[in-house]
Amino acid sequence: MTHLKFTASCMLVACLLPVAGTASELNPRWSAQRTESNALGDAVSNGDQSAIPTLMRMAKQDKNAPAAHNLGWIYQFGYAGDGQDMVQGCKWYEFGATLGYPPSMHSYARLCLMVQSAGPGSGDLGEVLALEYLLSATEAGWVPSAITYAEHMLNQKTLGLDDMPLILAAIDTGLANDPNEAEKITLSYLYGASAVFGLQVNNPNALETARKAEARLLHAAKANYADADSFVPKLRGKWLGMHIRQMAAWAPPIYDLETCVDNINSETVDRPLAQNCYGSYRDSVAQLTEIQRDGDYLSTALDDQPNLEELAYQHTEFKSLIDPFPAEIPLWENQFITRYVARSNADAWGQ
């Protein structure tokens, strides 16, 4: 995979502020402390440094995590009067993080632990701890952490397919925590970009992931977000390739129609054989229906994408391999399924 650079503009602005600039779903237990602490932090940023001792007392004596977070913010931006002090800033962010406050987990991870932050705790071990904090903050409802985690992981040169489920799960969690529209668009884009790299045919949820990723990429593309529109055909091509491999592996019912019909019409029915015929037929039809649904949709979606002509050709070739079975479905339904259901309902299997 080409090494890509993923960034989200929100990470440079709202995600660093203690004031509520996000629609994240934080635990209500933080609300009162957060409102009071943010007001004191804003007062310091406006020149009232007398609020700093109050915040320190609240943080140390009351174990007030939002107060600690505001102190981290104050030192990060130099509002304490002695210029920017990231050592003190990280100290207070870490304190808030240990108290379980999601914004502090986020800031401590991003500003103090990650290698590229060059913060006091940065390094390989710091990187591992940072990712743990980001996932914890994501699970606690802090949407910016889902964005930072996904971006960071997607920029790793050692990114592997095994990393994809965790990345997609983190993005899903972020989307479930009431993101604002800008965050939703960013997460949608990151989900689609992740899926382009991470779709695996042996993943039982791969088709669901592909469908979800396309819808989210289209949402991001509609908002003209980054290069979302260029990822749409890439995702569809990957999706179609996976679909082609599924068609190649698809198998018709294990038992042929004639064998199953002869058995179900005999006076003494081999009941296990009849049940196996029924189950095999139903499984094949379900798989075929899903394959055809995606194949028909993608054939239409790829009409205006000449760069995927080869995949479209393969799709046609593989489709011809399974086309004979749909023609047999009415025969199965009329000659076997109807009779099987009747005998099952009457429990009439013979002696």
8-state DSSP, 182: H
Spatial CB neighbours of 126, under 8 Å, sequence gap ≥ 6: 112, 113, 114, 115, 119
CA nearest to 209, candidates 196, 225, 220, 228: 196
pLDDT digits 0-9 by tens, 79-90: 998 899 999 999
The radius of gyration of the chain from alpha carbons, rounded to an integer in Å, stands at 28
Residue range 213-220: average pLDDT? Answer: 95
* d(C-alpha 7, C-alpha 148), whole Å: 8
User: In the predicted model, what is the mean pLDDT of the chain?
Assistant: 84
* d(C-alpha 295, C-alpha 45), whole Å: 58
DSSP string, 252-297: --SS-HHHHHHHHHSSS--HHHHHHHHHHHHHHHHHHHHHHHHHHH
pLDDT digits 0-9 by tens, 322-331: 677 778 889 9
Spatial CB neighbours of 48, under 8 Å, sequence gap ≥ 6: none
CA 158 to each of CA 125, 162, 163: distance values in angstroms, whole numbers, following the listed order: 16, 11, 10
- What tokens appear for 250 in the block? 């698809």
When pLDDT is cut at 50, 70 and 90, the band that residue 315 belongs to is low
CA nearest to 213, candidates 231, 225, 200, 227: 231
- Any idea which of 43-47, 98-102, 253-257 has the lowest mean pLDDT? 253-257
Residue range 38-65: average pLDDT? Answer: 96
When pLDDT is cut at 50, 70 and 90, the band that residue 319 belongs to is low
The whole-angstrom distance between residue 189's C-alpha and the CA centroid of its chain comes to 10
pLDDT digits 0-9 by tens, 137-152: 999 999 999 999 999 9
Percent with pLDDT over 90 in the chain: 54
* pLDDT value at 11 more than 50: no
Quick check: helix, strand or coil at residue 227?
coil
Q: Classify burial at 140, counting beta carbons within 10 Å of its beta carbon; exposed 0-12, middle 13-18, buried 19 or more.
A: buried
When pLDDT is cut at 50, 70 and 90, the band that residue 318 belongs to is low
* pTM score of the predicted model: 0.77
CA 23 to each of CA 39, 161, 219, 300: distance values in angstroms, whole numbers, following the listed order: 18, 31, 19, 37
DSSP string, 95-117: HHHHTT-HHHHHHHIIIIISGGG
CA dihedral for 303, 209, 169, 21, sign (positive or negative): positive
Quick one: pLDDT at residue 12? 29
Residue 56, amino acid: M
End-to-end CA gap in the chain = 63
Quick one: pLDDT at residue 160? 84
